[in-house]
Amino acid sequence: MPAIQLLFIAGLTAVLAGVVGFAAVVLASAARSGGGPHVTSGFLRRFARPGRERAELHRWAFYLHRITGFAIFAFLCLHILDVSTYALSPALYDELHGLYATAPMRVFEAGLLVAILFHTLNGLRLVAVDVADMGIDASRRALVAVAALTVVLGAAGGAVIVAPAFA
Amino acid sequence: MAMAAFETIDTDVAVIGSGGAGLMCVLHAAAADPSLDITVVSKGAVGRSGCTRMVQGGFNAALDPDDSPELHFDDTLKGGAYLNDQELAWTLVCDAPKVISELETVAGCFFDRRPDGRIFQKPFAGQSFDRTVHRGDLTGIEIMGRLRDQMFRLGPRELEDARALDLILDSSGELAGVSVLDVRTGAVALLRARVVVLATGGAATMYRIAAPAREKTGDGVAMCMRAGLELRDMEMLQFHPTGLLAGESRLTGAVLEEGLRGAGAYLRNAEGERYMERYDPERMERSTRDVVSRAGYLEIMEGRGTPEGGVLIDISHLGIEEVERRFPGMVQRTRQIGADLARGPVPVSPTAHFHMGGAIIDRDCQTSIAGLLVAGEDAGGTHGANRLGGNGVAESTVFGARAGDRAAVIARERDLREPDHGQLGRSVERAFAPLGRDSGASPFELTRALKEVMWDGCGVVRDGERLRAAAETIDDLAERVRTVAVPGPAEVNYAWQEALDVRNQLDVARAVVVSALSREESRGAHHRTDFPERDDERWLRYVVVGLDSDGELQSSSRPVALERRRLASKA
Amino acid sequence: MAEVEQATVSVRVARSDAGAETTFEVERFEPMTVLDLLLAIQREQDLSIAFRFSCRVGMCGTCTVRVDGRAALACTTPVERDVRDVRLEPMAGLPVVRDLIVDMAPFWDEWARVTPYLVPRAGLDEPAVIEPDSEERRRIDPSLDCITCGACYSSCGVSASGRDFLGPAALTRAMVLVADSRDAARDERLRAVGQSDGVDRCRYIYGCSAVCPKGLDPAGAIRALRRWRLGGGP
Ligand SMILES: Cc1cc2nc3c(=O)[nH]c(=O)nc-3n(C[C@H](O)[C@H](O)[C@H](O)COP(=O)(O)OP(=O)(O)OC[C@H]3O[C@@H](n4cnc5c(N)ncnc54)[C@H](O)[C@@H]3O)c2cc1C
Ligand code: FES
């Protein structure tokens, strides 16, 4: 494997490790703060009831928003580097970017798409909260819509991205 | 257990208690003289302990042009069966409108309005005019929340979670200050003060079924007693007729508000009978608290109670929506115990609510000890034999304010005194004794026993025999309290705090029982089956109790001064 | 889960002393609140357990703990019949004094920073004439009745994780005063809440509005302040 590809894989591994680490920090600090990720039977029982209890979804959206935000940013940093290889040598660029067509990389890209979708849609929801003065229930419904759209668009887009690798 | 070396804090005005009386006192003292050094000592959280916080019904004040302090005064005396100290009652009714105005314009409270934007006043039992000011059914939160906010403006020294133990005198018997125990650290401090204002809010928790907040264990009254002050009307303990029955739960005793009866709720016994017909056919359920409480108690005692030992309150005939709209807090409270006020009857029982008795004060809250003021529920006399709903928070804020004004004046005149260290040492030693013992009675058991004996022996309906038996049991408990043992450290030890509470409660309980024994008639909240009639010939007198120099409790009685109103018609 | 009635409840309590008992089997009775559980433990099993309460009817706001992770008033939280175990912890984001008791000082520090008391406008000598269904009161009334229990603070992902943030309770108080026509300090307050640790720190988690035992909506108050800050007032 060419050195440049190895370098990229190392970078990507660092990005993924960073994301996992960041997620761990977020969830650990969440466990200390109120409502945190306590998946106990009592919590699940309450969560099963409709109404205000489900507002906890917002908290999870907040964690996910931060984690996806970090992931997108971290990948973007790597991506800027890998694209800038073009300035050094187009051949080097081509060599490196051959990686993007491989199956594992396509799966990663599909994941990236889901992260971007969630982050974008959820970001729009947060803007809407202020613009449309959305209360706890309206915002929760919007959040459900964000989740649904993320899943649907993510699945469709993911299929398009991943399919060529298996064609 | 070794006691930590203690710190001395010097202050101009020491306010003990942070309920309505305590914080109004701070507000007024600071306004009268901003340079004063003021210290608030509060056993519970500042502004978030005590009963003023729990006021639901509202605040009586003659605001309407068609109403007058005169009318309010007459209602108050009639409610109090003419046992009131008329000077205090008159002060109450005259100052109440001023205090309402002050709460709105200075403290920033906002009470419910009429459609035209002026303060709305609702009817309340025993009143000839609709004069009760309120904010929904959370009036106390509005008043105490805003008074607590004022503390951020005024910045008194706050000793939160600090229990006043004893009044400390100097070697010549003059007031020097208070010993204070920090509940969090277990450290003791001596608070030296030019003026001490006691506002710890009465002792009505000493009954099996009781409404007040947990801090109200008669600390202030017991401190006064131990310092040699005389107390009046100690037998006059008000029971609210509709306390929730929730079995073992601490919710038992929580008040279902008076407004329910005002709105037309029925009271029934287990046989389905509207029993008030037998006790007060004219006013029925809307009769005064003492009458309705007694009726409920007798029904229960005579075996017509529900299995839970209560009677039933039922307002569901107004319709679910109406009840939910008008009494949201009450509906929620009953749903919490698996009943539902909006849909059917709820078991209730009389519940110990308010202590009319307390220290003897003048209209500026002064006692016979120079520099010691007492305000709020700790003081006696304003309400006589029975308090009107809505006069309690009025009393605590009106007299708290007056105490503040007066304290500012006295603070300029009085010097700090050097405390008698022997007395201080004894106060601290007594407090720490339970921590040092390895084995002995559990404080929680003693509290339970006291609550039982007071309920059975000195409750809604009394008689000589049971009172005497109660007195004996209380003596026994007082012996046992001397052997109480509590494990653990001095820091944040609530079992220890309970031991200190029950000691004070026992002191006060004894005063209640002795006073009840000596009043051989029935009047207001005090009802004796062996003397069932009111006897104005012999008993237009108030009972006074106090410790003599040997520490024995002595009782006597004095005629009520009828300086403003002679006895009108019999209430 | 089937509605099985439990004879005992297993209670796990976060204790601050190393070695203190943390799990208790409490015999249940009906009706029962979380406060009843704690009182039963204190009375029958461990005198030294530390927790706070005063009124036991949801008015004083001093009994707040986290029940299965979520801030609630112990006295108004029922232990439902089918509950087998309960986990109790002190509120989040506040220093623990002992066991379930926390030091509320950080909460009050934030509260104090919004000038929480009315600054009466000139000439306010007697109770103002304000109609109950006026715009102003409709804004304020649902946000009164705060019992400063700190549940919102504990449930706020920002406050409870120790960031500089005025927090939901103080901001609700600020909103009430900004909307109050009797008050003369509107501009200062709007400035205070507009700073970097003010309304913009809110992360839209709605933890506050979800847990408020009095049913207030601090998140709504924060949104209102965000709007008013730009428009100079309501
Ligand atoms: C459930 C309920 C409902 C009520 N409803 C009404 C109503 O609708 N209308 C009405 O007019 N009245 C009502 N009352 C009566 C009214 O609440 C009291 O009359 C009044 O609030 C007493 O005020 P206070 O300031 O004397 O004492 P509280 O407000 O009780 O304050 C006592 C203070 O003393 C402190 N304290 C106690 N012991 C010590 C100590 N040793 N050291 C330091 N601090 C100590 C406590 O922490 C607390 O801060 C009600 C009472 C109850 C219990
Ligand atoms: S004890 Fe007062 S709110 Fe729970």
More confident position, B182 or B137: B182
Say if residue A112 is in the same domain as residue A144: yes
On whether the CB atoms of residues B43 and B18 are closer than 8 A, the answer is no
Say if residue C94 is in the same domain as residue C114: no
Rounded distance, CA C3 to CA A120, Å?
A: 43
CB contact under 8 A, A59 and C92: no
B298 alpha-carbon distance from chain centroid = 24
Q: Which pLDDT score, from 0 to 100, does residue A30 have?
A: 76
C67, C91, C161: residue with CB nearest A29: C161
Rounded distance, CA B44 to CA B468, Å?
A: 34
Q: Which residues contact A98 (CB under 8 A, 6 or more apart)?
A: A5
Number of domains into which chain C is organized:
2
A46 pLDDT above the threshold of 70: no
Q: Which domain holds residue A50?
A: 1-99
B2 pLDDT above the threshold of 60: no
Arithmetic mean of pLDDT, B204-232: 97
pLDDT tens, position by position, C55-114: 999 999 999 999 988 899 999 999 988 888 899 999 999 999 999 999 999 999 999 999
Interface of C with B in 188-227 (CB under 8 A): none
Rounded distance, CA C219 to CA C156, Å?
A: 10
Q: How confident is the model at residue B233 (pLDDT cuts 50, 70, 90)?
A: very high
B353, B370, B392: which is the final residue of a domain?
B353
- CB of C53 closer than 6 angstroms to any ligand 2 atom: yes
On whether the CB atoms of residues B468 and B535 are closer than 8 A, the answer is no
Domain assignment of residue C87, yes or no? yes
Ligand nearest to the CA of C54: 2
Q: Which domain holds residue C55?
A: 8-101
Q: How confident is the model at residue A28 (pLDDT cuts 50, 70, 90)?
A: confident
Say if residue A79 is in the same domain as residue A108: no
A37 pLDDT above the threshold of 70: no
Arithmetic mean of pLDDT, B238-260: 93
Say if residue A16 is in the same domain as residue A78: yes
pLDDT tens, position by position, C223-233: 999 999 988 88
B368 alpha-carbon distance from chain centroid = 21
Beta bridge partners of A102: none
On whether the CB atoms of residues B312 and B121 are closer than 8 A, the answer is no
Q: Is B317 a catalytic site residue?
A: no
| From C59, C65, C104, mutation site for ligand 2 pocket: most ligand atoms within 8 A of C-beta | C59
Percent of chain B whose pLDDT exceeds 90: 89
Number of domains into which chain B is organized:
2
Q: Which residues contact A3 (CB under 8 A, 6 or more apart)?
A: none
Q: Angle, to 10 degrees, between the axis of helix C167-179 and the axis of helix C218-231?
A: 50
More confident position, B214 or B4: B214
CATH number of the domain to which C46 belongs: 3.10.20.30
Q: Which pLDDT score, from 0 to 100, does residue B499 have?
A: 96
Domain assignment of residue C173, yes or no? yes
Say if residue A117 is in the same domain as residue A95: no
Say if residue A34 is in the same domain as residue A74: yes
Domain assignment of residue B453, yes or no? yes
C101, C135, C167: which is the final residue of a domain?
C101
| From B88, B100, B215, mutation site for ligand 1 pocket: most ligand atoms within 8 A of C-beta | B215
Q: Give yes or no for B490 touching C (CB within 8 A).
A: no
Give the CA dihedral B552, B553, B554, B558, nearest 10 degrees.
150
C198 pLDDT above the threshold of 70: yes
Say if residue A128 is in the same domain as residue A158: yes
Q: Which pLDDT score, from 0 to 100, does residue A36 have?
A: 53
3-class DSSP state of A117: helix
Q: Which domain holds residue B241?
A: 237-353
Q: Which pLDDT score, from 0 to 100, does residue A57 have?
A: 86
C2 pLDDT above the threshold of 50: no
CATH number of the domain to which B293 belongs: 3.90.700.10
Q: Give yes or no for C219 touching A (CB within 8 A).
A: yes
Query: Which pair of tokens denotes residue B256?
Result: 């279902």
C101, C122, C137: which is the final residue of a domain?
C101
Q: Tell which residue, C122, C97, C104, has the closest CA to residue C170.
A: C104
Say if residue A64 is in the same domain as residue A112: no
Q: Which pLDDT score, from 0 to 100, does residue A165 have?
A: 84
Closest chain B residue to C104 measured between Cα atoms? B45
Domain assignment of residue C2, yes or no? no
Q: What is the pTM of this model?
A: 0.95
Work out whether the CA dihedral A129, A131, A135, A137 comes out positive or negative.
negative
Percent of chain C whose pLDDT exceeds 90: 85
Say if residue C140 is in the same domain as residue C40: no
Rounded distance, CA B441 to CA B481, Å?
A: 7
Q: How confident is the model at residue A40 (pLDDT cuts 50, 70, 90)?
A: low
Arithmetic mean of pLDDT, A90-99: 92
Number of domains into which chain A is organized:
2
Say if residue B349 is in the same domain as residue B437: no
A8 alpha-carbon distance from chain centroid = 20
**DSSP codes joined into one string, C150-214:** -HHHHH-TTGGGT-S--HHHHHHHHHHHHH-TTBS-HHHHHHHHTSTTSGGG--S--HHHHH-TT
The H helix count followed by the E strand count for chain C is 8, 7
B323, B353, B383: which is the final residue of a domain?
B353
* Of the candidate ranges B402-411, B539-548, C14-23, C170-179, the one whose mean pLDDT is the lowest: C14-23
Q: How confident is the model at residue A43 (pLDDT cuts 50, 70, 90)?
A: low
Rounded distance, CA B44 to CA B212, Å?
A: 13
Q: How many CB pairs under 8 A join B and C?
A: 175
Domain assignment of residue C208, yes or no? yes
Q: Which residues of B touch C54 (CB under 8 A)?
A: 44-45, 48-50, 53, 213-215
B1 pLDDT above the threshold of 60: no
- Catalytic residue among B261, B353, B462, B503, which? B261
Domain assignment of residue C54, yes or no? yes
Percent of chain A whose pLDDT exceeds 90: 74
Say if residue A83 is in the same domain as residue A139: no
pLDDT tens, position by position, B147-164: 999 999 999 999 999 999
Say if residue C19 is in the same domain as residue C116: no
Arithmetic mean of pLDDT, B43-68: 95
Which strand (E) or helix (H) includes residue B11?
Answer: strand B7-16
Q: Which pLDDT score, from 0 to 100, does residue A41 have?
A: 66
pLDDT tens, position by position, B549-568: 999 999 999 999 998 887 65
Arithmetic mean of pLDDT, B340-362: 96
Say if residue C209 is in the same domain as residue C114: yes
Q: Which pLDDT score, from 0 to 100, does residue A86 have?
A: 94
pLDDT tens, position by position, B420-471: 999 999 999 999 999 989 889 999 999 999 999 999 999 999 999 999 999 9
More confident position, B136 or B161: B161
Say if residue C29 is in the same domain as residue C139: no
Q: Which pLDDT score, from 0 to 100, does residue C81 have?
A: 86
Q: Is B353 a catalytic site residue?
A: no
Rounded distance, CA C43 to CA C20, Å?
A: 16
Q: Which pLDDT score, from 0 to 100, does residue B569 have?
A: 47
pLDDT tens, position by position, B490-528: 999 999 999 999 999 999 999 999 999 999 999 999 999
More confident position, A29 or B224: B224
CB contact under 8 A, B44 and C60: yes
Q: What is the average pLDDT score of chain B?
A: 94
Domain assignment of residue C1, yes or no? no
Chains that touch C (3 or more CB pairs under 8 A): A, B
Rounded distance, CA A60 to CA A144, Å?
A: 12
B214 pLDDT above the threshold of 60: yes
On whether the CB atoms of residues B301 and B461 are closer than 8 A, the answer is yes
Domain assignment of residue C234, yes or no? no
Beta bridge partners of B175: B169
Q: Which residues of B touch C59 (CB under 8 A)?
A: 53-54, 138, 140-141
Q: Tell which residue, C69, C112, C49, has the closest CA to residue C210.
A: C69
Arithmetic mean of pLDDT, C172-187: 96
B353, B371, B399: which is the final residue of a domain?
B353
B570 pLDDT above the threshold of 60: no
Rounded distance, CA C168 to CA A35, Å?
A: 15
Q: How confident is the model at residue A51 (pLDDT cuts 50, 70, 90)?
A: low
C62, C79, C101: which is the final residue of a domain?
C101
Arithmetic mean of pLDDT, B74-99: 96
Q: Give yes or no for A50 touching C (CB within 8 A).
A: no
pLDDT tens, position by position, A64-90: 999 999 999 999 999 999 999 999 999
Closest chain A residue to C89 measured between Cα atoms? A34
